[in-house]
Chains A and B, each alone.
Chain A
Amino acid sequence: MPLVEFTEKGFYVPQADCYIDPEKKVPTAIITHGHSDHARRGCGKYYATPLTASIIKFRYSISKCETFEFNEAFEINGVQFSFHPAGHVAGSAQVRIEYRGEVWVITGDYKRAVDRVCKTFEVVPCDHFVTECTFGMPIYRWKSETELTEQIRDWWVENQKNYRASLLMGYSLGKAQRLMQMIEDPIGPIYCHPTVYETNEVIAQHGIPFHENKILDGIQSFDDLSQSLIIAPGSAVRSDWAKSIGDFSPASASGWNQTRRRRRGQADRHFVISDHADWPELIQTVHETGAHHIYVMHGFTETFGAHLRDLGFDAQTVSHRLNQSSI
Chain B
Amino acid sequence: MKAFAALYYRLSNHTTSDEKRILITQFLEQSSSEENMWAVHFLRNGPFKRLFSTKQLAELALLQVDFSSAIFEQCLDMTSDVMETISLMLPNDQDLTSDSFDTICFQAYTLIGKDAEEKEKFISNVWTTLHGDARYVFNKIVTNTFKSPVSLNTLTEALADFRKLDRLMISYQLFQNQSKVPIILSELHATVDKKILPFHFIENDTQDNLDELKDISEYHLSQEWNGVRVQLIRGQEACHIWTRRGEIVSDKFPELIEEIKKLPIDTVIDGVIICIQNEKLMPKSLVRKRMSRKRTTQKSINDLPICFCVIDLLKLNNKTLLALSFEKRHKQLEILMQDFMDSRFFQFSDRLTAVSSSDIQSLWAQIKPYRSQAIIFKSLQQSRKDVHLNWLKLSAPPHHATAVVLYVRRGEGALANEFVEFTMGARHHESYIPILKLPVRLSGDDHLEMKLFVRENLIERFGPVYSIPAKQVFEFSYATIEESGRRKSGIQFKKVQFVRWIKDGDAADITQLEAFHRQLDDFIE
Question: Which residues of A line the B interface, CB within 8 A?
Answer: 137-141, 143-144, 237-240, 242-243, 247-250, 258-261, 263, 265-269, 272, 280, 300, 302-303, 306-307, 310
Contact = CB atoms under 8 A, between A and B. Distances in A.
Nearest to B463: A265
B59 interface: no
A243 B85 CA distance: 38
Nearest to B74: A303
Interface in B195-252: none
**Smallest CB-CB A-B distances: 8 pairs:** A139-B88, A238-B416, A138-B89, A266-B412, A139-B75, A259-B79, A303-B74, A238-B417
- Identify which of A138, A239, A243, A249 gathers the most chain B CB atoms within 10 Å of its CB: A138
B413 A250 contact: yes
A250 B71 contact: no
A267 to B, nearest CB: 7
B417 A307 contact: no
B94 interface: yes
Given A259-B78, A260-B81, A138 B71 contact: yes
A140 B87 CA distance: 11
B397 interface: no
B417 A239 contact: yes
B301 interface: no
A242 B417 contact: yes
B414 interface: yes
B92 interface: yes
Contacts of A141: 88, 91-92
B67 interface: yes
B69 to A, nearest CB: 12
B94 A144 contact: yes
Nearest to A137: B75
B220 to A, nearest CB: 47
B71 A307 contact: yes
SS class, residues of chain A in contact with chain B: mixed
Contacts of A280: 91
B179 interface: no
A248 B79 contact: no
Nearest to B411: A266
Given A144-B94, A247-B414, A138 B78 contact: no
A239 B11 CA distance: 28
Contacts of B74: 137, 300, 302-303
Nearest to B414: A248
Nearest to B88: A139
Interface string B35-79: 000000000000000000000000000000101101100110011
A240 B67 CA distance: 47
Contacts of B417: 237-240, 242-243
B89 A143 contact: no
Contacts of B85: 139
A238 B410 CA distance: 9
B400 to A, nearest CB: 33
B132 interface: yes
Band of interface residues on B: 20 to 34
B86 to A, nearest CB: 9
B84 interface: yes
A242 B412 CA distance: 12
12 contacts: A138-B65, A138-B89, A139-B79, A141-B91, A238-B410, A250-B414, A260-B79, A261-B79, A266-B412, A266-B416, A303-B71, A303-B74
Contacts of B79: 139, 259-261
A310 B91 CA distance: 19
A238 B5 CA distance: 30
A266 B132 CA distance: 22
B71 A306 contact: yes
Given A140-B88, A300-B74, 15 more contacts: A137-B78, A138-B75, A139-B79, A144-B94, A237-B417, A238-B410, A238-B417, A248-B414, A249-B413, A260-B79, A260-B81, A280-B91, A306-B71, A307-B68, A310-B68
B71 A143 contact: no
Nearest to B80: A261
Given A138-B67, A139-B89, A267 B75 contact: no
Contacts of A242: 414, 416-417
A265 B410 CA distance: 11
Interface in B294-334: none
A253 to B, nearest CB: 16
A296 to B, nearest CB: 14
Contacts of A269: 13
Nearest to B10: A269
Contacts of A307: 67-68, 71
B92 A310 contact: no
Given A141-B92, A143-B132, A307-B71, A267 B413 contact: yes
B167 interface: no
Nearest to B70: A306
Nearest to A302: B74
A38 to B, nearest CB: 25
Nearest to A237: B416
A299 B218 CA distance: 76
A141 B89 CA distance: 8
Contact of B413 (A143, A243, A266): A266
Nearest to A249: B413
A77 B132 CA distance: 51
Nearest to B81: A260
Interface string B83-105: 01100110110100000000000
B131 interface: yes
B67 A259 contact: no
A282 to B, nearest CB: 12
Nearest to B14: A268
Contacts of A137: 71, 74-75, 78
Nearest to A265: B412
A54 to B, nearest CB: 32
Contact of B84 (A260, A268, A272, A300): A260
Contact of A143 (B67, B92, B410): B92
A146 to B, nearest CB: 9
Contacts of A260: 79, 81, 84
A162 to B, nearest CB: 10
A40 to B, nearest CB: 26
Contacts of A258: 88, 132
- Identify which of A139, A250, A307 gathers the most chain B CB atoms within 10 Å of its CB: A139
A140 to B, nearest CB: 8
A259 B131 CA distance: 13
Contacts of A310: 67-68
- Identify which of A238, A258, A260 gathers the most chain B CB atoms within 10 Å of its CB: A260
A307 B79 CA distance: 19
Contacts of B13: 263, 268-269
B131 A143 contact: yes
Interface string B169-196: 0000000000000000000000000000
A139 B416 contact: no
Contacts of B68: 306-307, 310
B445 to A, nearest CB: 15
A141 B92 CA distance: 8
B413 A237 contact: yes
Nearest to A239: B417
Contacts of A265: 412
A252 to B, nearest CB: 11
